[in-house]
Amino acid sequence: MMRRRPSSPNGVLLEVEANELCDHVRRRCPDVRILFAGVQQLPLILEIEHFLAPDQVAHLLQLGQRLDLAGQFSPSTVEDDDAVVAVRTTVRTSDSALLPHRDPCVRDIASRVAALLQVEPDQVSRAWHRPWLLRYAPVREQTAEPLGVVRHSDFVPSLRRIYTCLIYLSHHGDSDGQTVFYPRPDDDALTLTVKPRPGKLVVFRVASRDGRLRDDYADHAALGVTAAGTAKLVCQFFVRAAGTAWL
């Protein structure tokens, strides 16, 4: 079937960049699951099972325990282009702790992701932007909604993010703790879901390679968990455009 090119020049650019990345990722990781179809205006999502070995997952969980004992977890922030506001709201209800980016395991993950996404090795310190450990507490009441993050975009012009990367560290049921994507800007009904599995890497595009052109089809939400006593743990970081300063 002949593919119809997007009519928007911006759409053409995003599709070309996506196709180039998909070809590269398939060569490096044949088992990758790729969700992308520019003609249908779907988000670019890469999903790789078992990206982390069990010992790496265990190591990140141990780091999380140490950070918790040290009182390093705090309410996750809500960001805009003018300020970063660290408040707990109905928009985002997780807790976050900054992972030590010099930890050998964290650095190894950074290098592997950089190679996967065609980031130059000397850009890793800039591209590996703030590796966070996110913790979503389970709901305490059966009638309560799972705590998570409502529909939003990770695009912030001043930060020049180009990809969001999630590595799941905890296991949950098929309908618990999912990441939900909304591939239509004005439609909440059509959704795509990714299920959390320990060691799974999920990458989705936020903007063009220079970080200036927003991908309008990458709105998403993070669902919390309902199982009592089982917190959802995710390692999250953002890959930023080349040339941006380390923050």
Is a pLDDT exceeding 50 seen at residue 6?
A: no
- Measured CA to CA in angstroms, residue 97 lies from 52, 67, 76, 219, 225 at distances of 20, 7, 8, 24, 19
The reported pLDDT for the residue numbered 125 is 56
Least confident of 21-25, 45-49, 189-193: 189-193
Indicate the residue type of 209: R
Superfamily of domain 52-240, CATH level 4:
q2cbj1_9rhob like domain (2.60.120.620)
| Boundaries of every domain in the chain | 52-240
Span 78-131, pLDDT tens digits? 666 555 554 555 566 788 999 998 899 998 998 898 889 887 655 565 566 678
pLDDT average, residue stretch 196-204: 93
| Widest distance between CA atoms in the chain | 57
Is a pLDDT exceeding 60 seen at residue 179?
A: yes
Beta bridge partners of residue 158, listed in sequence order: none
The reported pLDDT for the residue numbered 126 is 59
Residues 6+ apart with CB under 8 A from 128: 101, 110, 113, 114, 237, 239
Q: Which of the given ranges, 37-46, 166-175, 183-192, has the highest pLDDT on average?
A: 166-175
**If we measure between CA atoms, which residue out of 156, 148, 168, 163 comes closest to residue 221?**
148
pLDDT average, residue stretch 126-148: 66
pLDDT average, residue stretch 198-225: 87
Is a pLDDT exceeding 50 seen at residue 169?
A: yes
Least confident of 76-80, 154-158, 162-166, 195-199: 76-80
| pTM for the whole structure | 0.85
What's the mean pLDDT when you consider all of the chain? 78
